[in-house]
Amino acid sequence: MKKALLVICGAALSAGLAHGYMLYKGDGSDEAGFVSPNLGPPPPPPAAHIASAETYIPYPGPPVTPQARSEKKNPPNPPVLFCKLKSDYGPLDWSARPNDLNNLLKSMKGMLNVNFSMEVRGLAEIDTNPEHNPILYRTGHFHFQHSEAERKRLREYLINGGMIIYDAGMGSKPFYDSAKEELAAIFPEIPTQRLSADHPIFHSYYDMEQVQYRAAVRKAGYKGNAPWLEGVTLDCRTVAVVSRWGLGIGWDAVNDESIQGYAVESAQKLGINLVSYATAQRAWARQLAHAMELVDASANSAGKVALVQVIYDGEWKTRHKGLSILLHQFNQKTDIPVKFNLAERRLSDARIFDSPVLYMTGHESFELSAAEIQNLRRYLQNGGMLFAEACCGRKAFDTAFRREMAKVLPDTQLTALPTGAALFSVPNKIQNVGITPALMAQMGNRSLIEPKVEVLDIKGHHSVIYSPYGLAGGWEMSQNPYGYGYDESGAMALGENILLYAVTQ
Phi-psi region of 252 (alpha: psi -120 to 50; beta: other; left: phi over 0): alpha
Fold agreement between 75-287 and 304-504: yes
What is the spatial distance between Cα 235 and Cα 439, in angstroms, rounded to a whole number?
A: 19
CATH of domain 304-504: 3.40.50.12140
Per-residue confidence (pLDDT) for residue 491, from 0 to 100: 97
Q: Is the peptide bond before 60 cis (omega within 30 degrees of 0)?
A: yes
Per-residue confidence (pLDDT) for residue 21, from 0 to 100: 54
The 10s digit of each residue's pLDDT in 397-427 is 999 999 999 999 998 999 999 989 999 999 9
Cβ count within 10 A of residue 14 = 17
According to DSSP, the residues that pair with 339 across neighbouring strands are 304
What is the spatial distance between Cα 307 and Cα 385, in angstroms, rounded to a whole number?
A: 10
Contact 213, 225 (CB under 8 A): yes
Contact 414, 401 (CB under 8 A): no
Per-residue confidence (pLDDT) for residue 332, from 0 to 100: 82
Per-residue confidence (pLDDT) for residue 366, from 0 to 100: 97
According to DSSP, the residues that pair with 229 across neighbouring strands are 243
Q: What are phi and psi of 455, to 5 degrees?
A: -135, 155
467-472 average pLDDT score: 98
Q: Is the pLDDT of residue 301 over 70?
A: no
Q: What is the DSSP string of 203-222?
A: TSSS--SS--B-HHHHHTT-
The 10s digit of each residue's pLDDT in 145-154 is 999 999 999 9
Amino acid at 124: A
Q: What are phi and psi of 31, to 5 degrees?
A: -100, 155
* 342 Cβ contact list (under 8 Å, min separation 6): 295, 306, 307, 309, 323, 324, 327
Per-residue confidence (pLDDT) for residue 45, from 0 to 100: 60
Cβ count within 10 A of residue 401 = 23
Q: Is the pLDDT of residue 97 over 60?
A: yes
Give me the helix-helix angle, 370-381 and 395-408, nearest 10°: 70
What is the spatial distance between Cα 419 and Cα 449, in angstroms, rounded to a whole number?
A: 11
The 10s digit of each residue's pLDDT in 116-145 is 999 999 999 999 999 999 999 999 999 999
Q: Between these two residues, 76 and 33, which has the higher pLDDT value?
A: 33
The 10s digit of each residue's pLDDT in 180-236 is 999 999 999 999 999 999 999 999 999 999 999 999 999 999 999 999 999 999 999
437-452 average pLDDT score: 95
The 10s digit of each residue's pLDDT in 170-183 is 999 999 999 999 99
Question: Which band of pLDDT confidence, cut at 50, 70 and 90, is reported for residue 288?
Answer: low
Amino acid at 448: L
Question: Which band of pLDDT confidence, cut at 50, 70 and 90, is reported for residue 306?
Answer: confident
Pairing of strands 117-122, 415-416: unpaired
Q: What is the DSSP string of 241-262?
A: EEESSBSHHHHTT---TTSSBB
CA distances to 37, 137, 172, 219, 268 from 34, rounded to whole Å, are 9, 20, 5, 14, 24
Amino acid at 479: Q
Q: Is the peptide bond before 427 cis (omega within 30 degrees of 0)?
A: yes
**Does the 75-287 domain belong in CATH 3.40.50.12140?**
yes
Domain ranges of the chain: 75-287, 304-504
